[in-house]
Structure 1
Amino acid sequence: MKSELLERITFNPNQCGGKPCVRNLRIRVTDVIELLANGLTPERILTEELPDLDLEDITACLVYAAVKLNHPVLRAA
Structure 2
Amino acid sequence: MKLPGFPRIIVDSALCGGRPTIAGTRVRVTDVLEMLAGGAGTTEILEDFPYLVEADVRAALSYPANQP
Paired residues, number: 64
Measured after TM superposition, the shift of residue 24 of structure 1 is 3.3
Q: Report the equivalent of 1:35.
A: 35
Instruction: Say which structure, 1 or 2, has more relative contact order (CA 8 Å, 6+ apart).
Output: 1
Unpaired runs of 5+ residues, structure 1, are 72-77
Q: TM-score, normalised by structure 2?
A: 0.87
Select the structure that is richer in strand. 2
Higher percent of residues as helix: 1
Percent identity (aligned): 39
Q: Stretches of 4+ moved more than 4 A in 1?
A: none
The aligned counterpart of 2:56 is 57
Unmatched runs of 5 consecutive residues or more in structure 2: none
User: Radius of gyration: which is bigger?
Assistant: 1
